[in-house]
Chain A
Amino acid sequence: MKLLVAVKRVIDYNVKVRVKADETGVETANVKMSMNPFDEIAVEEAVRLLEDGTATEVVAVSLGVQQCQETIRTALAMGADRGIHVKTDEELQPLAVAKLLAKIVEKETPDIVILGKQAIDDDSNQTGQMLAGLLGWSQGTFASKVYLADGKANVTREVDGGLETLAINLPAIVTTDLRLNEPRYASLPNIMKAKKKEITEITPDELGVDVAPRLTTLKVTEPPKREGGIKVETVSDLIDKLKNEAGVI
Chain B
Amino acid sequence: MDYELPEELRMLQETVRRFVDRELIPIERETMEGPKLKPEAQEMLEEKAKAVGLWLYDVPEEYGGQGLGLLARAVVWAELARTIALPSRNVNIFGPIVSPILYFLNDEQKQRYLYPVLEGKLRHCFAQTEPDAGGDPGNMRTTAVRDGDDYIINGTKRFITGAADADFAQVIAATDREKGSRGGISAFLVDMDTPGVNLLRAQETMMHDRPWEIAFEDVRVPSENMIGGEGDGFKFAQNWISAGRIRHGARGIGVIERCLELGASYAKQRSTFGSPLAERQSVQWMLVDSYADLHMLKLMVYAAASKHDDGGDIRYDSYIVKYFGDTKSFEAADKCMQIHGGLGLTTDLPIEHMWRDQRSFIITEGPTEILKMALSRHVLRQYGD
- Residues in chain A within 8 A of chain B (CB atoms): 34, 70, 73-74, 77, 184-192, 194-195
Contact = CB atoms under 8 A, between A and B. Distances in A.
B19 interface: yes
B57 interface: yes
Interface in B34-58: 51-54, 57
Contact of B53 (A34, A70, A189): A189
B8 interface: yes
Contacts of B7: 70, 73, 195
B85 to A, nearest CB: 17
B97 interface: no
B14 A34 contact: yes
Contacts of A70: 7, 10-11
Contact of A187 (B10, B52, B68): B52
10 contacts: A70-B11, A73-B7, A73-B11, A77-B11, A185-B18, A186-B14, A186-B15, A188-B54, A195-B7, A195-B8
Interface in B6-36: 7-8, 10-12, 14-15, 18-19
Contacts of B57: 188
A191 B18 contact: no
Contacts of A191: 8, 11-12, 15, 53
Residue among B8, B52, B68 with max Cβ neighbours from chain A (10 Å): B8
A186 B11 CA distance: 8
Residue among A73, A184, A185, A194 with max Cβ neighbours from chain B (10 Å): A185
Nearest to A192: B8
B153 to A, nearest CB: 40
The B interface is mostly helix, strand or loop, or mixed, namely helix
B90 interface: no
A185 B15 contact: yes
B19 A185 contact: yes
B66 interface: yes
B66 to A, nearest CB: 6
Interface residues of B, number: 16
Contacts of A188: 12, 15, 52-54, 57, 66, 68
Residue among B10, B11, B12 with max Cβ neighbours from chain A (10 Å): B11
Nearest to B22: A185
Contacts of A74: 11, 14
Given A73-B7, A195-B8, A189 B66 contact: yes
Given A186-B11, A188-B66, A191-B12, 4 more contacts: A74-B11, A186-B15, A187-B51, A189-B53
Nearest to B10: A70
A195 B51 CA distance: 19
B206 to A, nearest CB: 34
A248 B51 CA distance: 55
Contacts of A186: 11, 14-15
Interface of B: 7-8, 10-12, 14-15, 18-19, 51-54, 57, 66, 68
Given A34-B14, A185-B15, A185-B19, A190 B53 contact: yes
A184 B52 CA distance: 8
A140 B260 CA distance: 44
Contacts of A73: 7, 11
A188 B15 CA distance: 8
Contacts of B68: 188
Contacts of A195: 7-8
A193 to B, nearest CB: 10
A184 B11 CA distance: 13
A145 B186 CA distance: 64
Nearest to A182: B22
B93 to A, nearest CB: 14
Contacts of A194: 8, 11
Contacts of A185: 15, 18-19, 51-53
A187 B53 contact: yes
A188 B54 CA distance: 6
A178 to B, nearest CB: 16
A34 B52 CA distance: 18
B194 to A, nearest CB: 39
B229 to A, nearest CB: 37
Contacts of B53: 185, 187-191
B70 to A, nearest CB: 15
Contacts of B66: 188-189
Contacts of A77: 11
Nearest to A188: B53
A74 B57 CA distance: 20
A166 B14 CA distance: 36
A70 B385 CA distance: 51
A72 to B, nearest CB: 11
A88 B327 CA distance: 46
A144 B14 CA distance: 26
A183 to B, nearest CB: 10
Contacts of B14: 34, 74, 186
Contacts of B12: 188, 191
Nearest to B66: A188
Contacts of A34: 14
Contacts of A189: 53, 66
Nearest to B9: A191
A208 B102 CA distance: 61
A191 B15 CA distance: 10
A38 to B, nearest CB: 16
Contacts of B8: 191-192, 194-195
B264 to A, nearest CB: 11
